[in-house]
A and B are shown apart, each in its own frame.
Chain A
Amino acid sequence: MKATRIKWFSALGLAICIFLDGAISQQLAGQLFTNGAKLVPELTTLWLLATAFFEDEIHVPTYWFAIVAGIVFDLFYAGYWGIYLFIFPVVVWLARTLRQYLPVNLFATLLVGFLGFAIQPLFSWIALRLIGLTSVSLADFMVVSLAPTLALNEVLLMIFYLPLRKLYLRHN
């Protein structure tokens, strides 16, 4: 019973995160996307990572979550198919794999977050380079996009760590 409730909670949280990403980007565009630094909010990635890393015995269908999130991102935000559809399952796979080797604490979570948050800009950059929609160089990508985005999302993860961890622990 409790496990079902938390599954619904994860699904609802994911849906909210998906649309919050767009809403935050839109409301704070002037502050987040400047020419010197582009901070992309990755709440969806954060939610997927946290769910996959904390779920333990609950068995949330994280891969399906990732696929649905990927489809919404591709269709609604990007307008190209197959970019986020690939990224989000990889993020989930990463968290689930690392869970077997790492203890679940703040430091390990931030480490997983670091890798996960890097995947989204990295893969979307590679994908857009492949289909010729961007001409940003590797150096520009690292300094202007990757570093600020990582910093922003690590801070967000630090804030969300305790409440999310407590929630999943209580339901385990």
Chain B
Amino acid sequence: MHRFFSSRRLVIVALSVITCLGLMTLSVAVRNRRSTPPVVQQFGNDVAGFADRVVSLPADGIGAGANSLAQLLNTYDENQKLKQQVDQMAQDKVRLQTAEQENKELRQEAKLNKSLSDYQSLTASVIARTPSSWQSQLIIGKGSANGVKKNMPVLAGKGLIGRVVEVNQTNSKVELISDDNENANRFAIQVTSKKGETVNGIVTGYDADKNVLEMGQITTKTKLENGDQVATSGLGGVTPKGLYVGKVVGITNDDYGHASKVAIRPAGKLGSVNIVTVAAKNQAGDE
């Protein structure tokens, strides 16, 4: 029986461990610093993305079939509810149009061409998800060729779900707010209280057990309540203002009665997402 660890094998193992650790450290640095990955990586990813579409097409078909079967079962209930909502929608739409028009006129009056809430949306299909317990990442089928840029916020379902972390030519990676990476959920947000007052802050963490985002370190006298709406504040970075994040579901008060930690239930769909929207902020002098 040969020895389990010959000296030659030991050297090979040691070398490969060191090489892989080096590569990992290097790639973290590259990923944090640069807006696009190296050309070789981009090319590899574009090829892989193409191959993935070929393989995942039947899988998507089966998934869609199963989904529609499940949806068929509660169609009737939903239909009743939706009918009521549609009536409401028509009214809201008219109101929105009027408000938008008024907003535009007022902005012209104030000579404000670009505001924090201006953004263009790009719709992209999700082509794969990282098969890992820790990295909650989606690979979406639009890349720099379609105008996706690093750090753009991504929405699905009703609200914000994450941000773009890597951009290739024809596909990009989106890190969800449920990702373990501590930077994944740092969004500048704004809570609007029932009285219309706003509290600015930053998402400081994500509690996977409770599925809530935490907004900490707040010192304000504004009284916040459960059910208050949370949206992005548009301050700093490329995230536009007014993207819906979720609702307040819990407030932990400190000794002085100021809200110090707010728990927010995200409105975005973090599970099986097939279509996402990338929100691109219109920055002054961008066009």
Contact = CB atoms under 8 A, between A and B. Distances in A.
B134 A131 contact: no
A81 B37 CA distance: 12
B19 A82 contact: yes
A86 interface: yes
Contact of A19 (B45, B55, B138, B173): B55
A71 interface: yes
B273 interface: yes
B69 interface: no
Interface in B126-176: 126-139, 165-166, 173
Given A133-B134, A134-B181, A15 B128 contact: no
Interface in A1-55: 15-16, 19-31, 33, 35, 38, 40-42
B24 interface: yes
A125 interface: yes
Q: Is the interface of A mostly helix, strand, loop or mixed?
A: helix
B31 A80 contact: yes
Nearest to A125: B134
Interface string B254-287: 0000000000000000011100000000000000
Contact of B131 (A25, A71, A89, A125): A25
B197 interface: no
B26 A81 contact: yes
Given A133-B180, A134-B180, A79 B165 contact: yes
B22 interface: yes
Contacts of B54: 19
Interface size class of B (residues with CB under 8 A): 35 or more
Contacts of A33: 133, 136, 271
A23 B24 contact: no
B59 interface: yes
B62 to A, nearest CB: 7
B133 A23 contact: no
A82 B27 contact: yes
B208 interface: yes
A145 B181 contact: no
A25 B173 CA distance: 15
Contacts of B220: none
Contacts of B59: 20, 23-24, 27
Interface in B200-219: 208-209, 211
Nearest to B52: A19
B51 interface: yes
A27 B60 contact: yes
B23 interface: yes
A26 B137 contact: no
B271 A30 contact: yes
A131 B133 contact: no
A131 B20 CA distance: 12
Given A19-B56, A26-B56, A85 B23 contact: yes
B121 interface: no
With most chain A CB atoms within 10 A of its CB, the pick from B41, B49, B130 is B130
B182 interface: yes
A81 B23 contact: yes
Nearest to A73: B131
5 contacts: A26-B138, A26-B272, A30-B272, A79-B173, A80-B28
